[in-house]
Structure 1
Amino acid sequence: MSDKITAELRTEFGKGAARRIRREDKVPAVMYGHGNDTVHLTLPGHDTMMAIKHGGANALLELDINGETQLALTKQVQVDPVRRVLEHVDFVAVRRGEKVTVDVPIVVVGEAVRETLVVTENSTVQVEAEATHIPESFEVDIEGAEAGTQFLAGSLTLPSGTTLLTDPETLVVNVTAAQTEAQLEADLEEAEAEAGIERDEPDADEGESAEGGESAEGGDEE
């Protein structure tokens, strides 16, 4: 399902034009694909942000451009790191029924058994799907998984019409035994040794000096 956004064609380019667009709470964008020339657009900032959030990593928007409708798949989104507003969006023009290649996020649900460490080895997998039926994510249920359990890309449940492009043997989520404090300390010492870092050993004379200092101070007071 796509969100409908009214877009305006723009003829001004460059940083100055982009700043003026953003001051009006709008977003500069480009759309390419199907062998057509790149189309430069201006989109309403709030509506576009909400549509992209709603659509997830591969948001599909229905752009109304001068009364004509065009489906556009989000490919790259630039967000201001401080104000958290959209700075620029790149789209790819798509058609209904068209197959597209996308990276779909992995979401881990459930809890493994105690004293295990759950590592997401690959946060996305690549699939081919219809532009209007792109999965938002794939769930990996680790509930009760024990150390040594591995979840491969080929074990993911894909909806009808979606084809896995990632190698099925690719490790997606790995459940291992949690390291003990002793193992962590040993790994740290090994890493420091490889980096040439030497730990400072306590000076045996320090304690004696401290005791001697205390005696001297006591003698002064007397």
Structure 2
Amino acid sequence: MSEVRIAAEQRSTFGKGAARKIRRAAKVPAVLYGHGIEPKHLTLPGHEVLLALRTPNVLIRLHGEGVDELALPKGVQRDPIKGFVEHVDLLLVKRGEKVTVEIPVTTIGDVNSEGILDLQMTSVAVEAEATHIPTGVDVDIEGLQVGTAITAGELKLPKGATLIADPEAVILQVSAKQAEAPAEGEGAEGEGAEGESAEAAE
């Protein structure tokens, strides 16, 4: 996984008022923690952060005065209406160390025409080297029959990734399509026609 370089400024002001001031300047307050260090309070450029977070488990190279670290986003707060990033928690990581992350599950193909796909888990927890986190795991569902289920333990994980999730957890299953219910009034009309035929016979 490639690194995204983001300039970071250390900050000494905290609280809601300070955070609002940072956001008005189109920046994002962040906290860097991990490896037993004292948490570092940072200010990051908002646009660059927003672009970086489009990649799951993006590896960020923080650089600036007194800052030169690798980090993974572990907590992101967004504005519920506008969607912009309000705050980021960053986990300090070192090259070669293992981290636990959620990677997305992507299906390839289509199930049998008699079935419908029920994707129960859109991501799965794995352990991987911090600088080689897989972008996701693909699952081939082409032609799967009704009643088929695939568990986490059956996933073909990318090289270097180890499953952390429960291997018995169901990732997806193929259910039977439900028969379409008759349109309202169809049953009543049929009964009326039968009644009229009986009366005519009499």
TM-score class, shorter? 0.7 to 0.9
Structure-2 separation of matches of 1:134 and 1:80: 27
Aligned-pair distance for 1:25?
0.5
Name the counterpart of 1:17: 18
Unaligned runs of 5+ in 1: 183-222
Name the counterpart of 2:189: none
Name the counterpart of 2:35: 34
Where 1:90 maps in the other structure, the secondary structure is strand
Whichever of the two has the greater Rg, that structure is: 1
Structure-1 separation of matches of 2:72 and 2:161: 16
Question: How many residues were matched structurally?
Answer: 181
Structure-2 separation of matches of 1:122 and 1:160: 21
Does residue 1:98 correspond to 2:83, yes or no? no
Q: Higher relative contact order at CA 8 Å, sep ≥6: structure 1 or structure 2? A: 2
Unaligned runs of 5+ in 2: 182-202
Superposed CA offset, 1:75-94 (max 9, x none): 01111122221111111000
Name the counterpart of 1:150: 149
Name the counterpart of 2:188: none
More helix by share: 1
Does residue 1:63 correspond to 2:62, yes or no? yes
Structure-2 separation of matches of 1:37 and 1:67: 14
2:137, 2:158 within 8 Å by CA — same for their partners in 1? no
Does residue 1:73 correspond to 2:99, yes or no? no
Superposed CA offset, 1:118-171 (max 9, x none): 111222211110001111211112121111111111221222221111222221
Does residue 1:107 correspond to 2:106, yes or no? yes
Structure-1 separation of matches of 2:64 and 2:33: 14
Structure-1 separation of matches of 2:113 and 2:92: 47
Name the counterpart of 2:50: 49
Aligned-pair Cα RMSD in Å: 1.6
Name the counterpart of 1:171: 170
Name the counterpart of 1:3: 4
Structure-1 separation of matches of 2:66 and 2:43: 15
Does residue 1:121 correspond to 2:132, yes or no? no
Aligned-pair distance for 1:3?
0.1
Write the letter of the residue equivalent to 1:42.
Answer: T
Name the TM-score, length of structure 1 as normaliser.
Answer: 0.77
Structure-1 separation of matches of 2:49 and 2:160: 28
Superposed CA offset, 1:181-204 (max 9, x none): 35xxxxxxxxxxxxxxxxxxxxxx
Aligned-pair distance for 1:67?
5.4
